[in-house]
Structure 1
Amino acid sequence: MSESPDPWSEFARELGVRLLRARAEKHLSQEQVAHAAGLATFTYRKLEKGESNPGTAANPRLRTLVLLSEVLGIPFRDLVPTPPEGLAPGR
């Protein structure tokens, strides 16, 4: 029996795509964005991949998302995808 896909994994992947696109539009390196947001380059690279560890969806702090929005010059609402629907509280 196969498991249904984790909706948070798709959310994290979409966040990563949005980060990559915004960074490319600004012609910035991953290192430049990470430094400006106060992150380790390794951490930022993982966010663009949509994972924190292999097989585990990224789960950045709100502060990190706000800082990345500012560094990349895009509205927060345009950076963060719509959260998955229908999840039980606490998931």
Structure 2
Amino acid sequence: MTDVPDPWNEFARQFGARLLAARAEKGFSQEHVAHAAGLATFTYRKLEHGESNPGTPANPRLRTIVCLAEVLEIPLSDLLPQPPEGVAPGR
């Protein structure tokens, strides 16, 4: 085990912040976005917090990300932050 922080934690946190900002801009509730995207409200809330389980960064499916962008009426590029630098693919 290492003390080096997982760079995907920050990516997931930024993704969640972008979800929250887009949702707030539209005036949508978490329940509305979750239902429209085919998610449980609990799952959507966790995405806004950038986690899937405590201490584990969110890792939503591609279909989920696309559905969220459509529901929020924003391009994917506005929803996704830049991936962490220096991270090997799949890590």
If the length of structure 2 is used for normalisation, what is the TM-score?
0.94
- The within-5 A match list for 1:9-20 is 9-20=9-20
SS of structure 1 residue aligned to 2:15: helix
Contiguous gaps of at least 5 residues in structure 1: none
Provide the TM-score with structure 1 as the length reference. Answer: 0.94
For residue 42 of structure 1, what is the amino acid of its counterpart? F
Large movers: runs of 4+ above 2 Å: none
For 1:19, the aligned partner's letter is: L
Q: Provide the C-alpha distance between the structure 1 equivalents of 2:80 and 2:90, rounded to a whole number of angstroms.
A: 20
Provide structure 2 residue ranges, at least 5 long, that are not aligned to the other structure: none
Aligned-partner Cα distance in 1 for 2:76–2:43: 19
Q: Say how many residue pairs are matched.
A: 90
Once residues 40 and 4 of structure 2 are traced to their aligned partners in structure 1, the CA distance between those partners, rounded to angstroms, is: 33
- Residue aligned with 1:74, SS: coil
- State the identity as a percent: 76
Residue 5 (structure 1) shift = 1.8
What does 1:1-91 align with in structure 2 at a 5 Å threshold? 3-91=3-91
Could you tell me how far apart the structure 1 residues matched to 2:25 and 2:13 are? 18
1:25-80 CA-partner distances (Å, limit 9, x unpaired): 00000000000000000000000000000000000001100000000011001101
Shift, 1:87, TM fit: 1.2
3-state DSSP of counterpart to 2:42? helix
